[in-house]
A = this chain, B = another copy of it.
Amino acid sequence: MEKFKVTFYPDNKTVEVERDRTILSAALSAGVYINSACGGDGVCGRCKVILKKGKVITQHSASISLQDKEKNIYLACLTEIQSDAEIEVPAESKLDLEKLSEEEIDKRLGGFYAKAEEVELVEPDFEKKVFTPFPLAQKLYLQLPRPNLDDRMSDLERIYCQILKNKNIKVSHTNLVNMRLLGEMLRSSDWKVTATLGNKSGIYELLEVEPGDTSERNFGLVFDIGTTTVSGQLVDLNRNKVLGTKATYNKQAGFGSDVITRIIYAQKQEGLEKLHNAVIESMNEIVHELTEEHKIDLNDVTSVLCAGNTTMIHLLLRIDPSNIRKEPYVPTANFIPVIRAYEAGIKINPRGILYCASGVSSYVGGDVTAGVLSLGLDKKEDLSILIDIGTNGEIVLGSREFLIATSASAGPAFEGSGVSCGMRSASGAIQKVKISRKDFNVSYETIGKAKPRGICGSGYIDIIAQMLDAQVMDKDGKIKAVSNKRIRQNDTGKEFVIAFKEEADATTDIVITEADIDNIKRAKAAIYSATLILVRHLSIDLEEVKNIFIAGGFGTSLDIESSVRIGLLPDIERSKFKFVGNSSLAGARQMLLSCDQIKRSEETARKMTYFELSVEPGYMDEYVAALFFPHTDLARFPSIRTKSIKI
């Protein structure tokens, strides 16, 4: 078959592809990650590339303007290669899949948990209720009595017996490989061996036997598998200590930015395999780096605990997720049995085990259960709310008496997707903004103090709050028609310039459009109204709620005042808000360290009721009422009203 050589710049990566391959697919093969929020369906218009050389066939797209055409700009997903070619991928079309900096990781995982070098075995509700450490996989050093004519117990039962004697643990299973190695190993190691025990829902299995004493080296990994970011921690299971933390973008982002797009992508040929391989590659990268950095032998990593939303867990295990998006939205499994990590493709000790935190439903996954666990919502006397802001926002309300959860499709705007200059909170993202009330001048702060490349979620929240305060914009999200170099008309409405291209690392000015503002308005309305509906459904007064935990990688760079100002968070006593960073990762760690916590998490998942917003009669009204900054009913935002009056 005819093959064409395609080179991508600025990466200078070349790949050979056959005729009619799309540029997007060729880029993936070359290891160049192009933005593709819609999963390659030609809808989102985020995969613009510049053809420097070569012939292509393209399809019509509303995203490509006449000017674009003049500049040889094409949508990578709709354009097929017809000759050798050279293609430029502009910065704004590139997906940053390189590793995050330590600072960014801190931001994403921050809060009081992830930074701690020593993880105290306490409930994160500050009550310091210690739980029993009893890891998912533990190592026991055994000095076995040598057999003699009066004690001829078989090798395997000798090990079982000693474990029972030392630890009062009854082991009843092992695998054939162990049995095949046992005879020689026990005798050559003078009956001194280390047994690795795995806990499979309360059943103990002898996973491995090693000669000598290796019990000092027992490590585990916890993962929070987010739609956008995969975060991992290496834990010393003997010392209940976090050795290191890494995060990387979920490589699935190349196949679509939200779970729905990915579920659709999974239905394409080899789509499921590609999505599975992408997340496994992201995880194995973290495994590799953490173990290299801390000089840990992969064979000493015996267990992995993953928290993720239901779709992510299905993709991790290469289980078809299609029914998650088809009514009545039933996943294959919410409770995943313990399996071997290598069965999923995670490269640790080949006999090491993997447990995935139990989920509640298709849209409330194990990441939420883990969050609830780490925050102790299931044990608190007081009413609490957990708001986990991501592409899907999940909200849990409850106490030790009950737990109810819902999920609101906020859309990817808060993660920088589907908005004109949005980007993920990576280097160069504008995250904090001040707008002068006098001349609408803008000062901003970017992640990594780099030249601005776009705006991340928390940046948008800040911008909108500032535009409200500076009265650049009205409560409906319409930009005022005043003469200012930053305010101008585009094809569909007005836009406000945050950074001119001269000061930015971008080919065009970084702006916020009325369409973007509308997008954010719908996202914040979804989260706010879902929270309110949940509270109202249970006939609870918001004042009765004692804590509002805000979780998500997004959470740490979120400005609380701005969030209340735009009506994302309710206007209540600020001391009730607690940033908890990545509460899912913290919960996963608790489970890895203590099988009691796994049991508790399963009970929690069973206990949690899923509340379906779409069938709730009042939800639409509440949502529509929230399509205002901060809200149609200003009485609900007394502090904003006061502020507005003051102005």
* A→B interface (CB under 8 Å): 147-149, 151-158, 172-176, 179-180, 182-184, 187, 200-201, 203, 317-320, 322-323, 327-337, 339, 343-344, 361-362, 610, 612, 615
CB of A576 to closest CB in B, whole Å: 32
Assembly CA distance A362 to B200 (angstroms): 31
Given A152-B610, A154-B334, A361-B152, A176:B323 Cβ within 8 A: no
Given A179-B317, A320-B180, A339-B175, A154:B328 Cβ within 8 A: no
Given A173-B201, A176-B344, A183:B152 Cβ within 8 A: no
Assembly CA distance A317 to B180 (angstroms): 8
Q: Are A323 and B183 in contact (CB under 8 A)?
A: yes
Given A172-B337, A339-B175, A330:B184 Cβ within 8 A: no
Q: Are B328 and A152 in contact (CB under 8 A)?
A: yes
Across the interface, which residues of B come within 8 angstroms of A335, CB to CB?
A: 154, 156-157
Interface pairs A-B: 6 shortest CB-CB: A156-B333, A154-B334, A147-B330, A183-B332, A149-B328, A155-B332
Given A152-B328, A152-B362, A333:B179 Cβ within 8 A: yes
Across the interface, which residues of B come within 8 angstroms of A323, CB to CB?
A: 155, 183, 187
Interface centre among A151, A174, A187, A331 (most CB of B within 10 A): A331
Q: Are B319 and A183 in contact (CB under 8 A)?
A: yes
CB of A598 to closest CB in B, whole Å: 13
CB of A278 to closest CB in B, whole Å: 17
Across the interface, which residues of B come within 8 angstroms of A317, CB to CB?
A: 176, 179-180
Interface centre among A184, A317, A323 (most CB of B within 10 A): A323
Assembly CA distance A173 to B340 (angstroms): 13
List the B residue with the shortest CB-CB distance to A614.
B149
Select A154's contact among B148, B182, B332, beta carbons within 8 Å. B332
Given A176-B344, A339-B176, A332:B156 Cβ within 8 A: yes
CB of A599 to closest CB in B, whole Å: 12
List the B residue with the shortest CB-CB distance to A147.
B330
Across the interface, which residues of B come within 8 angstroms of A328, CB to CB?
A: 147-149, 151-152
Q: Are A149 and B615 in contact (CB under 8 A)?
A: yes
List the B residue with the shortest CB-CB distance to A336.
B179
CB of A352 to closest CB in B, whole Å: 15
Given A155-B330, A332-B156, A610-B152, A183:B339 Cβ within 8 A: no
Q: Copies per complex?
A: 2
Assembly CA distance A274 to B598 (angstroms): 45
CB of A39 to closest CB in B, whole Å: 20
Q: Are A331 and B155 in contact (CB under 8 A)?
A: yes
Q: Are A327 and B149 in contact (CB under 8 A)?
A: yes
Assembly CA distance A183 to B149 (angstroms): 56
Q: Are B361 and A330 in contact (CB under 8 A)?
A: no
Across the interface, which residues of B come within 8 angstroms of A179, CB to CB?
A: 317, 319, 332-333, 336
Select A322's contact among B147, B172, B183, B331, beta carbons within 8 Å. B183
Q: Are B180 and A319 in contact (CB under 8 A)?
A: yes
Interface centre among A201, A319, A335, A612 (most CB of B within 10 A): A319
Assembly CA distance A430 to B362 (angstroms): 73
Q: Are A329 and B154 in contact (CB under 8 A)?
A: no
Given A152-B610, A361-B152, A337:B173 Cβ within 8 A: yes
Assembly CA distance A344 to B203 (angstroms): 23
List the B residue with the shortest CB-CB distance to A150.
B328
List the B residue with the shortest CB-CB distance to A172.
B201
Assembly CA distance A147 to B610 (angstroms): 15
Across the interface, which residues of B come within 8 angstroms of A343, CB to CB?
A: 176
Assembly CA distance A328 to B153 (angstroms): 10
Q: Are A149 and B612 in contact (CB under 8 A)?
A: yes
| Given A154-B330, A182-B333: 12 more A-B contacts, CB < 8 Å | A148-B328, A153-B330, A154-B333, A154-B335, A155-B323, A157-B335, A173-B200, A173-B201, A176-B339, A182-B319, A183-B323, A187-B323
Please, could you name 19 A-B residue pairs with CB atoms under 8 Å apart, sorted by A?
A: A147-B328, A147-B330, A151-B328, A152-B328, A152-B329, A152-B362, A152-B610, A154-B332, A154-B333, A154-B334, A155-B333, A172-B201, A173-B337, A176-B344, A180-B317, A180-B318, A182-B332, A182-B333, A183-B320
Assembly CA distance A332 to B330 (angstroms): 46
Across the interface, which residues of B come within 8 angstroms of A203, CB to CB?
A: 203
Assembly CA distance A528 to B627 (angstroms): 96
Assembly CA distance A335 to B329 (angstroms): 45
Assembly CA distance A158 to B612 (angstroms): 20
CB of A359 to closest CB in B, whole Å: 8
